[in-house]
Amino acid sequence: MILTYHGHSTFRIKGKKGTLITDPYEDYIGMPLPRLSGDIITVSHDHKDHNAIKKVAGTARRNNPFIINKSGEYEVGGISIFGVRTFHDASGGVERGENIVFTALVDGIRICHLGDLGHELSPEQIEDIGSVDVLLCPIGGVYTIDPELAVKTIRSIEPGIVIPMHYKTAQHNLDVFGDLKTLEDFLKVYGVSPEPVPKLDIDSKLRIPEETELVVLSVIA
């Protein structure tokens, strides 16, 4: 399984049985989405910085990617995906609506994408999400959980690896995303500052560390 980061909340997860793209975005966020192709696209919520499905091409396996934008259980070409209903805010969805937390089983590795989670997870939601090998966690605040709540969420889920996402960068449209926290803000709260790497390549579940390890991925444009 090879995982790469393409900015905002977009990841490419390539496994032996297919490729999954998460939350593709429109160019209005301030950066163009790179050319991506996938067999499956997950959409955590229907906002244009997360639902630009037409920007992702199909593959040799599947001409048109299979779109998953609802909670529930799915099996697509040997990849299992589980969606848990959460909210985009701390007011039960009153401000920004629902958010789906998706966990994908790729090459035996459970990868959880929190989308634009906007609140502390309940014990019931944590139980529904289940065990997590790799957690993709928003950290920027404003529209999602902030660095402090992100750290608390990471500790409650206890993944083997955590990768931060959805934070302010120099490329973002500052009129919309200027109030987001930066990666550096999160690293100060988390307490470690690993060097960015271009990809996460895991060939076996045995490579997942027992204690949570923070991995920072470089943005591949």
User: What does the pLDDT read at residue 77?
Assistant: 95
User: What does the pLDDT read at residue 17?
Assistant: 96
In Å, what is the CA distance from 73 to each residue of 36, 41, 84, 105, 175? Answer: 25, 14, 9, 11, 37
- What phi and psi values does residue 71 have, to the nearest 5 degrees? -70, 160
Q: What CATH number was assigned to the domain covering residues 2-214?
A: 3.60.15.10
User: What does the pLDDT read at residue 206?
Assistant: 81
Strands 66-68 and 72-76: unpaired
Q: Cα(70)–Cα(6) distance, rounded to whole angstroms?
A: 23
Task: Give the chain's residues under pLDDT 50.
Answer: none
User: What does the pLDDT read at residue 101?
Assistant: 98
User: What does the pLDDT read at residue 112?
Assistant: 98
Output b/e per residue, 16-44; b: 16+ Cβ within 10 A.
eebbbbbbbbeeebbbebeebebbbbbbb
Reference 70, options 56, 55, 86; nearest CA is 86
User: What does the pLDDT read at residue 204?
Assistant: 85
List the domain boundaries for the chain: 2-214
Tokens of residue 82, six digits: 């589980």
User: Does the global pTM surpass 0.85?
Assistant: yes
Query: Which neighbouring-strand residues pair with 134?
Result: 111, 161
